[in-house]
């Protein structure tokens, strides 16, 4: 019974947190539209760049592993 009560309060808290984040996002977009768009574009480029970095890091590691298997 206690776990069910805890789960209910956790769900209420999670919904409240999501509502707060959405309202904060809308407030930022309405008050600072230019800066927000620039920030999102810069974040998008940084995200894609980081994913490309991780992809090529994994690619070169796999290529190195393949070369080590061929040489052994």
Segments forming the whole domain that contains residue 41:
33-72
Q: Is it the case that residue 69 has pLDDT exceeding 90? A: no
Tell me which long-range contacts 38-46 makes (C-beta under 8 A, separation of at least 24): none
List, for residues 10-63, the tens digit of each pLDDT value.
999 999 999 999 999 899 889 988 888 898 899 999 999 999 999 999 998 888
Tokens 């996002």 -> residue = 25
How many domains does one find in the chain? 2
Residues 22 and 46 in one domain: no
Residues 44 and 69 in one domain: yes
Residues 38 and 61 in one domain: yes
CA distance linking residue 48 with residue 7, whole number of Å: 37
Residues 21 and 44 in one domain: no
Whole-structure pTM value: 0.53
Residues 69 and 37 in one domain: yes
Residues 39 and 27 in one domain: no
- Cα end-to-end distance, the chain, whole Å: 61
Residues 38 and 15 in one domain: no
């Amino acid at each position: 019974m206690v776990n069910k009560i805890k789960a209910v309060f956790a769900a209420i808290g999670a919904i409240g947190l999501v509502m707060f984040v959405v309202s904060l996002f809308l407030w930022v977009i309405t008050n600072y539209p230019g800066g927000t768009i620039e920030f999102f574009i810069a974040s998008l480029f940084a995200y894609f760049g980081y994913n490309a970095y991780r992809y090529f890091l994994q690619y070169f590691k796999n290529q190195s592993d393949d070369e080590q298997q061929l040489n052994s």
